[in-house]
Structure 1
Amino acid sequence: MSSVRGEFSSRFGFIMAAAGSAVGLGNIWGFPTQTASNGGAAFVLMYLILAFCLAYPALMAELVIGRHGQANAVSSLQKLGNNPVQKKFAFFVGFGGIICAGLILSFYAIVAGWMLSATLEPVATTVGAAGAAQWLSEQSLVRDLSFTLIFVALTISIISKGVENGIEKWSKRLMPALLVILFSLIAYVLTQEGATTGLKAYLVPDFSSLLDPGLLVSALGQAFFSLSLGTSVMIIYGSYISKQENLVSLGAYVTLIDVFIAFVAGLLIIPAMYVAQAQGVEIFSSSGQLLSEDTLVFQVLPALFEGMGGVGVFVGFAFFALMSIAALTSSISMLEAPVSYAVEKFALARTQATWIIGGIIATVSVTIILNFSALFGLVVQLTTQFGQPLLGMLCCIFVGWIWHRKKLLSEIQEGHPEVASSVFWRIWPWYIRFVCPLAIALVFINSL
């Protein structure tokens, strides 16, 4: 039975919601393009290692904070503070994460709007609406504003329903749908000419480049960012977990699913790039650098789908529908972070708080669109390159240095009584205290 403030009704519901938050456009597209730009299989191998050596311990820190606090990110962190200075530090970390989540959603909604538009373009082509298809495929102020607002409205409609009837219910539907579409597309692309070359580039590492500093830092950053760390999202989701659940295994499941889908997405995108190359689409420059990294999904893949003939219309629809679903599973978690704070801090009704916060975020999105060249890249850089690493590092410091070890153990023992004798407890406390802050600081310093 859910509590008054809301609670996930099942382990499966939490895993799908948390994995949905982690699995977004960054995993479906960001991970493969990072792979293509950083040594292919060598990057994949280091990403897999670092996801479990860095991302999983940091994820556990945020989940433990949330379940212990049973409140929004700010209140959960402040409960760990022992004096006014620590409580002010807690407010900075928690509220900073909320602001970061809201700003990420403001630019994320724009990109997701492009995905929605690209999903409808093949439909318009199929029904013979040439004018509508052209409007949907060409970037314009009206198109971008329209689909950004539609996407924000979709996100608001899910979050306003609450934890069980909103986040959990739709995550259970969207995540399996995402997997079905993803595997169907992989099965098709792997039958095409050039796919074998792509698979080789993706799966056979060049071990000489494994310790390249640039590759290591990129893999470290991708592993950290892919789990939505540093945005208060996982603290919020942790607060909705029952005290009877085993946090250690739940965190491991979420990490496994996130890494699995990123890896599987690479099985689609990397071979698809080489299939497109075999069909005459230019993917790499003469020096071997990936072309159009930021917009490759809107340039190369439509050309690939067009080269498939009649079936390409349906494949294109399926792919961009997949991207839209991935975007929505992440956006609902980003909106939940500020909404939960508003509901608990100002005693607002959930529906009211959702529409107010959603309206503010939509206003920021519109402002970015109207000043796109000046603001879009700036907001992306401030949040993903500066905000997330810094706030994630501070969360690790909070758990490792401020929270008393015995109290931390007591919290994890709820739902996992034997954890004190486990390998996890022998390693994780000092790991989160020393290794994670140092590694995350490396990502932050590199972003400077």
Structure 2
Amino acid sequence: MTQSSSRDFFASRLGFILSASGAAVGLGNIWGFPTQAASNGGGAFLLVYLILIAFVAFPMLVVEMAIGRHGQANPVDSMRSLSSQPGTQKIASGVGWLGLSVPCAVLAFYSIVGGWIICFFLAALSNLLGWSEISQWLEGFSVERNLLGTVIFYVLTILIVQGGVKQGIEKWSTRLMPALFVLFAVLFVYILMQDGAVEGLKQYLIPDFSKIWNKDLILAAMGQGFFSLTIGGCSMLVYGSYLSKKENLPKMALSVTLVDTGVAFIAGLVVMPAMFVAMKQGVEIYAADGSLLNSDTLVFRVLPMMFESLGVLGQIFAAVFFLLLTIAALTSSISMLECPVTLVSERWNTGRNSTTWGLGAVIAVFSVIVLYHFSELFGLVVMLATQYLQPFAALMFCILGGWVWRHHSKVAELQLGFPELPQHWFGRIWPTYVKYICPIFVVAVLWFSLFS
């Protein structure tokens, strides 16, 4: 599919970087990363994570964004554009549909977690206003409360996405992302002033080198990197399709990687010290064998208990923290909904408003089904989406981008905004690297998911 003159594009370089970074920055950074770091040796996990982001996730992010910009279309048509052979195009279309299933499946459970966060934010506000009964209900785990939070989260996501690229995604990302960094900075300064914070900071920043070769730690870091940068999740492919041909694509991908990794790093700076502050307050964090307690509910249980122990000021910072999480969750959810919206609106020429509300409602129905069968379905949907669908989609993107997409064509795509690419070290290494090295790493993640 060729570029349409009516197609929306990002208005500015900063708008793209903040929007794409927002797509990557989500609960994986603020909820998942600190939890993984705390479970896998702190500093050792951080070091391995940073290395894998640089040598695996970043090169694959360039592939995904390049495919999107090359096709300048929805995921299915962008994948088709990689080949002129009818048989290969059919396979590429199938990979596009597979990739499209990832954000839809992730959004089905992600919106539920986003709803919890909104409820905790409203509970923190209720506490400040002295509405203790409402606060208790909002913090309780009832179907009605979960349903309320999920519906609010979907409505906020839909309202942003229906505005389109410039007036919806870019406009709100350029507001929400700076707010995210400001709130993080305030929380970091506050937590660092509490007793026990420095101890947590040391555990996070000083690696135990004896742990860095641990197989489970390496694979956990790799999986975290994939999920964090939404590799195989289609969001970066779609955002790449809205990027001007004049832009230096590897440089843009590097900016997105640095912002995303920076947020994960800062989240660790906040959460790890906060855990040790909570331990000083008598909250149990680690079991006798050194394993992390409440790993799945760390930010929902441990941190609120720490905030509660610090009086009124703690309640204010509880509200700030859950507002921060809400922002992070929304910047990711809008990119997930954008993927199917782009496909339907382009392929069937439907109105953006009706398409956004219609598709949002369809995915919301799946979320409601999961909510009413939570114990049976929630963990299953999370596992299928993040451990199987996303890594497999990433592998297929890598194979098509590395093997099917001809060398001269992909180099030409990157050269459009980076004329010196063939002489640059990146241009010499990247095409071969994504063809041979990256698939090995993705297969390792899949193998671990299937057979661990």
Paired residues in the alignment total 447
Give the superposition deviation at 1:84.
2.6
**Are 2:357 and 1:331 aligned?**
no
Residue 289 of structure 1 aligns to a residue in which SS?
coil
Local SS of the residue matching 2:364: helix
Distance, in Å, in 2 between the alignment partners of 1:127 and 1:7 is: 43
What pairs with 1:21-420 in structure 2 (closer than 5 Å)?
21-420=23-422
Post-superposition Cα deviations, 1:270-309, rounded to whole Å, max 9, x if no partner, equal: 0000000011000000011000100111111111001111
SS in 2 for 1:294: helix
Measured in 1, the distance between the counterparts of 2:323 and 2:181 equals 12
Please state how far the C-alpha of 1:100 moved relative to its aligned partner. 1.3
Separation of aligned partners in 1, 2:111 and 2:280: 33
> SS of 2:122's equivalent?
helix
In the alignment, the residues of structure 1 paired with residue 192 and residue 59 of structure 2 have an alpha-carbon distance, to the nearest angstrom, of 35
Deviations 1:297-353 (A, max 9, x none): 111111100111110110100000000000000000000000000001111111111
CA distance in 2, matches of 1:3, 1:302: 50
Amino acid at match of 2:119: S
CA contact (8 A) 2:115 2:152 kept: yes
**How far apart are 1:137 and its partner, in Å?**
1.0
Give distance in 2, aligned partners of 1:108 and 1:406. Answer: 39
Shift of 1:3: 4.6
Partner of 1:423: 425
**Alpha-carbon distance in 2 for matches of 1:201, 1:127:** 37
**Cα distance per residue 1:176-226 (max 9 Å; x no partner):** 000100110010001111111101100111111111111111111111111
224-233 or 260-269, which deviates more: 224-233
User: Structure 1 residues 3 and 314, CA, compared in 2 at 3 Å: closer, same or farther?
Assistant: farther
1:150 alignment partner, SS class: helix
Work out the CA distance in 1 between the residues paired with 2:289 and 2:437. Answer: 37
Deviations 1:351-405 (A, max 9, x none): 1110110010110000000010111001000010001111101111111101111
- Separation of aligned partners in 2, 1:136 and 1:294: 19
- Which residue identity lines up with residue 419 of structure 1 in the other structure? L
Indicate the SS of the match to 2:295.
coil
Name the aligned partner's letter for residue 97 of structure 1.
G
| Structure 2 counterpart SS, 1:314 | helix
Which amino acid counterpart does residue 48 of structure 1 have in structure 2? Answer: L
Query: TM-score, with normalisation over the residues of structure 2?
Result: 0.98
**Which deviations, in whole Å up to 9, do the C-alpha atoms of 1:219-249 show, x marking residues without a partner?**
1111111111112111100000001111010
Listed as ranges, the gaps of 5+ residues in structure 1 are none
What's the Cα RMSD here?
0.9
Measure, in 1, the Cα distance between the counterparts of 2:20 and 2:67. Answer: 15
> Quick check: 2:128–2:312 contact (8 Å CA) kept in 1?
no
Tell me the distance in 2 between the aligned counterparts of 1:296 and 1:64: 37
User: 2: CA distance between counterparts of 1:26 and 1:224?
Assistant: 10
The 1-side partners of 2:209 and 2:406 are apart by: 42
Partner AA of 2:77 in structure 1: S
Aligned residue type for 1:304: M
Q: TM-score, normalised by structure 1?
A: 0.99
What SS does the corresponding residue of 1:417 show, helix, strand or coil? coil
The separation in 2 between residues aligned to 1:105 and 1:4, in whole angstroms, is 28
Unpaired segments ≥5 residues, structure 2: none
CA distance in 1, matches of 2:258, 2:391: 21
Q: Is the 8 A contact 2:15 2:174 kept in 1?
A: yes
Task: Please state how far the C-alpha of 1:7 moved relative to its aligned partner.
Answer: 0.2
Q: Secondary structure at the match of 2:296?
A: coil
Using the alignment, how far apart are the partners of 2:300 and 2:255 within structure 1?
Answer: 32
SS of the residue corresponding to residue 16 of structure 1 reads helix
Q: Is the 8 A contact 2:183 2:321 kept in 1?
A: yes
User: Which letter maps to 2:106?
Assistant: I
Alpha-carbon distance between aligned partners in 2 of 1:417 and 1:109, rounded to the nearest angstrom: 42
The answer to whether the 8 Å contact 2:10/2:243 transfers is: yes
Q: Kindly provide the amino acid, as one letter, of the partner of residue 81 in structure 1.
A: S
Secondary structure of 1:208 counterpart: coil
Structure 1 residue 127, shift from structure 2 partner: 1.6
Three-state SS of the structure 2 residue aligned to 1:207 is coil
